[in-house]
Every structure is written in structure tokens, then in C-alpha cells.
Chain A
Amino acid sequence: MNQTELLDQFVLEARDCLEAIGHRLLQVERDPHDADLLNDLFRSVHTLKGNCGLFDFKPLERVVHAGEDLLDRVRSGSLAYGSELADALLEAMDYSARLIDQIEQHGHIEPGAEEVSARHAAALRALLDGRPVAATPPAEPTPAMPPSATAAAGPAAGSPDWLQVLDAALLAAHPGAVAVRYQPEPGCFFKGEDPWRLACTAPGILGLAVRGQQPWPPGEDQAHWDCYQCNLELVLLSSAPQPYLEEHFRCVIEQVVCHVLPEAAQVPDPGGTVSAHLLARASELWADQLALLARRPIAPGTVLSARRTLRNLLAWTAPAADAARALEALPDAAPAEALLAWARALVPAGAPPEPEASASGPAASEFDDPLAAAGPADGLRRAEDPTAGHHKVLKVAQEKVDRLMDLIGEMVVAKNSLPYLAQRAEEVFQQRELAREIKAQYTVINRIAEDMQHAIMQVRMLPVGTVFQRFGRLVRDISKKLGKQVQLVIEGEDTEADKNVIEPLADPLIHIIRNSLDHGICMPDARVRQGKPATGTIRIAARQESDRVIIEISDDGAGVDPERVRDKAVQRGLIPADRAASLTDEEAVQLIFLPGFSTADTISDLSGRGVGMDVVRNAVERINGSVQLSSRKGQGMTVRLSLPLSMAVTNVMVVESAGRRFGVPMDLIVETVRVHGDDVHCFKQARTTVLRGRIVALRALNDLLDLGAEPVRNGDGELAVLVVRHCAESVGLLVDHFLGASDIILKPLEGVLSGLTAFAGTALMGDGGVLMVLNPKELLS
């Protein structure tokens, strides 16, 4: 595989990874403790990081690496997942997607990406340590503990041994400072790096020590020593915040380890009065926690909060060596009794006597440490997903499938020439036997071609879930922006429909959802006042009904207000006032489909920007679908889309007019009829006739298409009228001849021709000619 092929493959896989990651991030937000989800997420990020490493896309790798470290902590349980983390990760993944786009376009990342990527990486790493430990001593139980466990419990964390290189007095004099260990790689000099200079110029530097990573060579070996292989280890102390230091060392961040010194002194000075005071207070708090835990019944949240407080208090008492460890050994959901037992065993010196005087047996025996279960998930499980083993999946480029479909379409059309040939053989060449054999062979070929047609239609079927997936992110972001609480429920995402039907749906669906979010669902307090749950629900349900796919989008918001809609329609001059008054409520709601309608007084940047429901309806009808809206005021609104299951063969009636052939889709035709010229009534420019007791307007196709000829009458003086359904009425098209019905594969017009809305598309006929298929709706408007 050459370089460009490799790069294309990388882009494809990276995009897949990012999509999976995005999906998982949303799921994890709903379910932060699901270990499988977290592991899956971590695996995807890890794979992405590995791929980036192959190509030396450093900015991308940096961001992904930071994300991976963050997720590793989350999945091992030492960091709690929260919306802050989610936001940071989503942003970082968005940025990564942009970088991938750059790589796809230019083959490399644009210069200047270093800065931005370092910022994202730093933002992610800043979340690793959570907020700094509270500077003031815990005067009251501190419920708001920083999410990370490392920074909190001072002695429990343990300072790394490389810290000893620095002067102890220096360390003691600067609590809360950041110590950095920088171990440059041996070849760094050849990369033009000067680690000494980099260390000297670090921001806020308080002290710097240098030693060798490996011992320096002794006497005889010095002659062979290569002074250009870097063996330095630099340890510095800085008063600058950690993100600043990480920014400074961003180019070599993998060679750098930071450690934040604990804020307050480890063990309070036993002699001082201030510390005695604090100690007493700490003991009181300890007793308070014990009393709290002894209460019945007790909520799990209270147990957790008491546990946190006890852990914090450990820093202030002089604990037994393994006290902290015993606390950590308790499983997360340890019941109050277990915690109580442990805490009582450690009543600090000078604590007021506890009401219940039980000093229960050594805490250790009570909970025997089933720690194995709580251990981090074992590495990267490469276990196969059991369901995926049953059917193999191929990834195929879309163009290949489209090409196959085109070829099969041509085959379907080409086979149609055989009956024509058979007829010629019989009539022109007097070969009846030959004609019979051709017809026999034609039936065989026909059957095979139709099977191929069905098969390729199946290949093009996609589950609708692929379009619905991206809505999760949309709903989350917009609902946050608007300050509303909304959840998205998706049903029937495995329902399949043709690719060409699903893809144009994305934009209309997005618009409908935005409408619901913006105008439909109210703010949480308003909803609660109405007796609804504070979180609104938008539901997208898809199902198959005979040969259609039905997609329903419903919300439980305020619904459409018929009065407001009526007023607005009248205001905008879309409908006269008296007509508006005569509409029922259901009919009034349908007014929002009128072009030029938008009820939002302030055009938010989401909807109401001229992308009205009429555009949605047009988009849906363009793919032969239909839209219906129903709403109950105060209860919610439902939009129902009905779509064709597949773009199969279309049945058309072929007509001739002014010497040209045209096709008209059969499902729009009411009837074909011949009307005598005398039965046509002319009034000014309009022609009408009476059919089955109703007046039907007549339009000449030649006029509509500007073909410049008059409709031809047949031998009996009759005109050929093709009656089609237009809106809710019938209209008669005057044509010259009817040429019969035919099955064709309709191909929409593309490129510069797509602006010709009068035509639904083209098709190839059996004799090789091109048939223009009309779109009567557009033609007659």
C-alpha cells in the first residue's frame, strides 16, 4: 500500500473511531457507571491514538493522548465522569475531527495547529487532577470534594521519590507548588533540543536540580562515553499553575511528569495552640460523622458524603499507617455499618466520647477486602462481540454500490429490447420459431434481471438509525444552550430504508427537532407548573408499513397553538381573515406549511430563519414522501413522515406530444380519456370540460412545455386527455397520443439540469431512447 492509500485508510478509520467515540460519550453521560461503555470508549480512543502515532501527526496525537489518559482514570474509577468532562472531551473530539478533515484535504496538518492542540490537551489534563485541594482547613464537612483522589488525601497519596532531589527546605517553604520531573530522551540533542535551557526558562521557577538518569560512567569507561547521548534528569519546583508548565513543556510533554505538592502541612505541629485547636475541631467532626452514620435510615448519598469527610479528616489527625488504605479498600457502595466500624476503630486521640460505646473488633476482619472485583478492567479486552460473529460485514465504498446499481438498471432496460426483437423476427423476417425461442429466453433473463434488481435494492438499504444517531448530540447541545432539559428517545432504529430516501431526510428531521426544542418544549419550571415532568421528551419512532417507512417525531411540549397560527397567517397575508376564521383547529394547525410562515417573533439562530415547514414538506415530497402534522395544544405535537421503502422501478404512462415522448408517473394519473372537441368549453384562455359530473380544467402539455403546437385531434375529432391529480383536484393534460404504460428506472436530473423542476427525471427506454418523465405538480403550479 503506498502512502496515499495508507493515508486514505487512516482517514476512514479515524472518522469511524471518532463517530463511535462521539456516540459512546453521549451514552456514557447518561450512564456514567457502565463499565462496558467506558471500556469501549477507552478502546476506541486508544485505537485512534495508536493510528495517529503511525503517521506522526503530533498535534492530533497530543489531544487524543490527553483524552485517553482522562478516560483511563474514569474507567478505573479514580475520576468521576461529569458534564464538565463530557464537554471537554466532546470539544476535543470535534477539534480532532477538524484536524482529520485537514489531513484528508492536504495530506498533513496545517501549521499553527500546535497551539490549539496544546490548549485542548492542557484543558483535558487539567481535569485529571480536579480542582485544587481547599486551602483552608476543613472547618465544616466539605461535600464539594475535587473529583480526583490523588490531590485530596495528602499522606495517602505519597510523594514520589524523585522529589527528594530537591532541597527539603525548599519543598516545605512552598506548599501547593508544582514539582516537575523532566527526563529528556537520549537522542534529544540531535533533535536540536536543549533540555537544560528548557528547564531554566520554565515559568515561576523556584528551584532546579539535575542528576543523571543512569549512573555516570566510571573512570575507564569515560573515554568511550558519548557525551551527546542525553542522560540528564531535571527536577524543578515552580510556583506557576500546572497548565502553564505543561504548556511550557508541550513539545516534550511525554517526557515530563508533574506532581503538585500538598497544600497544607502534613502533620500539624503538635505543640502549637492553633494546631491543637484544629485537632480538637477535627475530632469533633469525626464524632459528628460517626453520629451521622449511626442514624437509621440513612441515604446512600449521606454515606458517601460522610466517607469523603472522613477521608479528608485523615489528613488532620495522626492516623495509623494503614488507616487510609483500609478506607480505600472498602467497596464504593459500602454500607453505613462498614464505614462506621472502620471509623470507630480509628477514633483519634482527644475525641469526645461517642454515645454508643462499642469499640467493635478490628475493622480489618469485618470487611475482608474483596478488592479483586474493584480492580481496574483487565487491559484491553479484545474479546469478540458475540453477536457480530454470526454475519460477516464488508465495508464497501459507496461509489462501487452506485455503479453496480447503474449497471443493473441498464441491464433491466436492455432486456426489454428482447420482446421487441422477437416481434421484429416474426413480422419482418417471418421467423416464427426464432421469435418463440427469443421470447422463451427472455423470460429467463427477465427473471434473473429482476432478482438482481431486488438484490441491489437490498444492498442500498440502510438502517434509519444511521441518520438518527447524530441527533443525540444535536439535542444535547441545543437543549443546553436554551437551558431546557430534553431527552431524545429513538425507537425502531433498525428499520431499513433506501439510502437515497434516508440521506435527504437528515435536514428536514433536524429542522423538525429544532422546532420542537425551540418552540415546542418549554423551560423546566414552566413544564413543572403544567404538571409535566421537568425533562421534556422528543421521540423519534420508525417502522415499516407494507411498502412505506413511517417516521414519527413527537414531543410532549406545548403543541401548536391554533389561534396564534391563525393570527400569524392572516397577519402575513397568507390567507384572508374570514377564511381563517372558518377553519377548524386541525385545519388551522396545517397553516404552518404555507410558505413564508414563521411564528417566532424573535428569529433565534436555530429556527425561524426562513427554513419553514414548507421547505420540509418540499424536501420530503421530492423523495415521494408525505408529511402530516397533528397537534394537541398543551400536550404536544407529532410530525408523521411517510416514505417509500425503496426507489424501485416506477410505472409510467408514456404519452406523445408535439412529436416528443414524455412519461407521467402512474400513481398520479386518475384516468385517460378521449374528449370530443365540442365538449371542451373555452372561457377566455382557459379550457374546461365536464367529466363524471365534475368540471375539470384542461391544460395543453404543449403550452406548459412551450412546444408551440396545438394538441392533435384523432380521426373522430377527439382530444386525448390525461387526467392527473394535482393538489386535491383533478386537472386534464391535453396530449397527442397515448403510447402505453411501461416500467422504468427513474433517474433524477443531476448537475445543471437539476433546476428543471418540471421534470421528475429521465429514463432509458428499451429502444435506447431517452424518456423525459414529467413532474405534473411542478408543471401545473
Chain B
Amino acid sequence: MTIRYLKRHAALEGVVSVDEAETLAQWLLKQKHPAVHLGRCEHLHGAVLQVLLALRPRIAALPDEPLLRGVLAAA
């Protein structure tokens, strides 16, 4: 229940904890076209949210959870 790093995007699933933020940031910086898929994401830690807002990857799918969806859609 964490991040699966696939060829084209990183899939965040379930509950993403604080430790993953650093790894995700490094991975996104290395990608030519960074993208994340949040379709199965239930909750993520504030640090992870911060990474997404700072590095602004392409969002392949928005999460279902309304508050998170609202924030990521606006970003």
C-alpha cells in the first residue's frame, strides 16, 4: 500500500506515509515527464502532498477523496 514506480508514472495507492516523500521527490526529479496516478490513493501524508505541490507532476488520475481531489485539482 504505497508507491509503485512504473514506467510512465508513479502509482500512489492506499495510505502513503511520510517516509515515501523523499523517494518520490527524487524519482520525480529524475523523470523526463513526471506523472503520478492517484486513482487508488486514500490518504497521503502532508510531506507527500507538499512534494506534489512543489514539483507539479502531471496527474494521470485524481483521487476519489473529495478534499484531496479539490486541492490537487486546483493546483
Contact = CB atoms under 8 A, between A and B. Distances in A.
Interface of A: 184, 189, 193-197, 200, 205, 207-212, 216-217, 222-223, 225, 227-228, 230-232
B1 to A, nearest CB: 16
Given A194-B18, A196-B45, A232 B71 contact: no
Given A210-B75, A225-B54, 14 more contacts: A193-B46, A196-B45, A196-B46, A200-B67, A205-B67, A211-B53, A212-B54, A216-B53, A217-B54, A227-B25, A228-B47, A230-B47, A232-B46, A232-B50
B47 A189 contact: yes
Nearest to B44: A196
A163 to B, nearest CB: 15
A232 B45 CA distance: 12
Given A194-B18, A212-B54, A189 B46 contact: yes
A227 B21 contact: yes
Return the 8 tightest CB-CB contacts between A and B, nearest first: A196-B46, A216-B54, A210-B71, A227-B25, A195-B46, A194-B46, A227-B21, A208-B67
B62 interface: no
B67 A227 contact: no
Contacts of B45: 194, 196-197
Query: Chain A's interface: helix, strand, loop or mixed, by majority?
Result: mixed
10 contacts: A189-B47, A197-B45, A216-B53, A222-B29, A222-B55, A223-B29, A228-B21, A230-B46, A230-B47, A232-B46
A208 B74 CA distance: 11
A209 B51 contact: no
B47 A222 contact: no
A228 B22 contact: yes
A8 to B, nearest CB: 41
Contacts of A230: 46-47, 50
B49 A210 contact: yes
Pick from B29, B46, B49, B55 the residue with the most CB of A within 10 Å. B46
B53 A208 contact: no
Contacts of A222: 29, 54-55
Interface residues of B, number: 23
Contacts of A195: 46
B18 A189 contact: yes
B6 to A, nearest CB: 21
B50 A209 contact: no
A209 B74 contact: yes
A188 to B, nearest CB: 8
A193 to B, nearest CB: 8
Given A189-B18, A194-B18, A197-B43, A227 B49 contact: no
Contacts of A212: 53-54
Contacts of A216: 53-54, 56
B29 A208 contact: no
A309 B67 CA distance: 42
Contact of B53 (A194, A207, A210): A210
Contacts of B29: 222-223
A127 to B, nearest CB: 32
Contacts of A228: 18, 21-22, 47
B31 to A, nearest CB: 12
Interface string B37-75: 000000111110111011110000000000110110011
A468 B35 CA distance: 75
A199 B18 CA distance: 16
Nearest to B23: A227
A127 B29 CA distance: 50
A194 B48 CA distance: 10
B50 A231 contact: yes
A191 B46 CA distance: 13
A231 B21 CA distance: 14
Nearest to A211: B53
Contacts of A194: 18, 45-46
B56 to A, nearest CB: 8
Contact of A208 (B21, B25, B56, B70): B70
Contacts of A210: 49, 53, 71, 75
